[in-house]
Amino acid sequence: MGYGGTVACTDVDCVYRKKYFLGHGMTPVYPLSSLIMELHPTARPSVMEAVKDRHVCHYEHNHSLFHCTNCDHVFKKVTVKIEFYDGGSFETHRRCSRCKKDRTKEIDVGELENRICPKCKESLLKMDSFILWD
Ligand SMILES: [Zn+2]
Ligand SMILES: [Zn+2]
């Protein structure tokens, strides 16, 4: 079951509102090659390289929200985790999409509350609603 939420600006005159769908739905994306096509183009080669000539036993994807502790950027990213029959595993990177540093941590949508609105850059954000999706 996926989850998520909507954040909105506390200033009524600012129309900023963003909906985040996180986690993963009930339906796995099958086959793996079509999941790869859903990834950011720059992430695809590393996954294709990792699965080349190996037997995949399990894979999962996740829509996650990350906060960069280096530049304070918040971004959504699809991460993929793959396990192989030989015992190895592979996970896509979580580098910041803005500063490219590897100092990100996964956050929950609720943690966006009280951050400065990215649109008006004055008022704070609040949680507007929570979502469950599949
Ligand atoms: Zn950053
Ligand atoms: Zn605003």
Residue spans per domain, the chain: 2-133
Q: pTM of the predicted model, to two decimals?
A: 0.84
**Which ligand is located closest to the Cα atom of residue 115?**
2
Q: Which ligand is nearest to the CA of 101?
A: 1
CA 4 – CA 65 distance, rounded (Å): 10
Is residue 124 within 8 Å of 19, Cβ to Cβ?
A: no
Q: Which residues pair with 18 in a beta bridge?
A: 7
Distance (Å, rounded) from C-alpha 99 to C-alpha 70? 8
Q: Are strands 56-68 and 104-107 parallel, antiparallel or unpaired?
A: antiparallel
User: Whose atoms come closest to the Cα of 94: which ligand?
Assistant: 1
- The reported pLDDT for the residue numbered 42 is 86
pLDDT value of residue 26:
67
Give the Å distances, CA to CA, from 42 to 53, 86, 124.
21, 26, 33
Mean pLDDT calculated for residue range 96-104: 95
Strands (E), the chain: 2-9, 17-22, 56-68, 74-84, 89-91, 104-107, 125-133
pLDDT of the residue at 43: 87
Residue 12 CA, ligand 2 centroid: distance in Å: 8
Q: Give the model confidence (pLDDT) of 58-94 as tens digits.
A: 999 999 999 999 999 999 998 999 999 999 999 998 9
Q: How far is the CA of 2 from the centre of ligand 1 (A)?
A: 26
Span 100-128, average pLDDT: 96
Summarised one tens digit per residue, pLDDT across range 5-54 is 999 999 999 999 999 999 987 677 888 989 898 888 988 999 999 999 99
What stretches of 69-119 adopt beta strand conformation (E)? 74-84, 89-91, 104-107
> What mean pLDDT do residues 107-116 have?
95
- List phi, psi (to 5°) of 51: -90, -5
Residue-level pLDDT at 48 = 94
